[in-house]
């Protein structure tokens, strides 16, 4: 399968999750396939602070986090860049939250806990979308 790159180099990913273990799993799922995790945030507020500086191609965003949740952070990121590709990560039973994300125009989700292949597949499908 090889590396995944744009003309500007590797695809940049920002991993946002309040669990350091989950962020490590995202890194381990994507980096061996040529993606570059350029930043990690433990809540939505940190994600917003990093977002403009890092300008990632893809953001993986946990929904339930302290300080600012993933829906609020995703909404703010979409205000900054309506084209931003975001994959929401959610535990089972978050159907109301998923519907709220869909209403914001976010259509890409990965259930937690996820297998590395599942997340990799979701990211690849998201990159193919225009």
Check whether 6 has a pLDDT greater than 60.
Answer: no
Q: How far is CA 94 from the centre of its chain?
A: 17
User: What per-residue confidence (pLDDT) applies to 55?
Assistant: 94
pLDDT digits (tens, 9 = 90+) for 62-78: 998 999 999 999 999 99
Give the bridge partners for 10, in sequence order.
Answer: 5
pLDDT digits (tens, 9 = 90+) for 17-56: 999 999 999 999 999 999 999 999 999 999 999 999 999 9
Tally the residues of the chain: 130
* CA–CA distance, 130 with 29 (Å, rounded to integer): 23
Taking Cα atoms as reference points, which of 43, 46, 38, 60 lies closest to residue 127?
A: 60
DSSP category for residue 46: H
User: What per-residue confidence (pLDDT) applies to 90?
Assistant: 85
User: What per-residue confidence (pLDDT) applies to 9?
Assistant: 83
Taking Cα atoms as reference points, which of 83, 85, 111 lies closest to residue 97?
A: 111
User: What per-residue confidence (pLDDT) applies to 101?
Assistant: 87
Strand (E) or helix (H) holding 12:
strand 12-16
User: What per-residue confidence (pLDDT) applies to 122?
Assistant: 93
User: What per-residue confidence (pLDDT) applies to 71?
Assistant: 93
User: What per-residue confidence (pLDDT) applies to 91?
Assistant: 79
SS3 of residue 98 by DSSP:
helix
**What's the fold here for domain 10-128?**
Rossmann fold (3.40.50)
- φ/ψ of residue 81, rounded to 5: -140, 95
* pTM of the predicted model as reported, rounded to 2 decimal places: 0.90
User: What per-residue confidence (pLDDT) applies to 48?
Assistant: 96
Q: How far is CA 110 from the centre of its chain?
A: 9
Domain residue spans in the chain? 10-128
């Amino acid at each position: 399968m090889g590396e995944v790159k744009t003309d500007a180099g590797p695809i940049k990913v920002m991993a946002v999750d309040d669990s350091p273990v989950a962020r490590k799993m995202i890194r381990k799922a994507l980096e061996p396939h040529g993606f570059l995790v350029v930043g990690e945030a433990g809540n939505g507020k940190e994600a917003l602070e990093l977002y403009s500086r890092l300008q990632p191609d893809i953001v993986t965003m946990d929904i339930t986090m302290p300080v600012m949740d993933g829906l609020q952070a995703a909404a703010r990121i979409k205000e900054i860049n309506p084209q931003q590709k975001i994959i929401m990560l959610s535990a089972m039973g978050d159907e109301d939250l998923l519907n709220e994300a869909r209403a914001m125009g976010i259509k890409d989700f990965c259930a937690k806990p996820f297998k590395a292949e599942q997340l990799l597949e979701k990211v690849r499908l998201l990159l193919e979308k225009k």
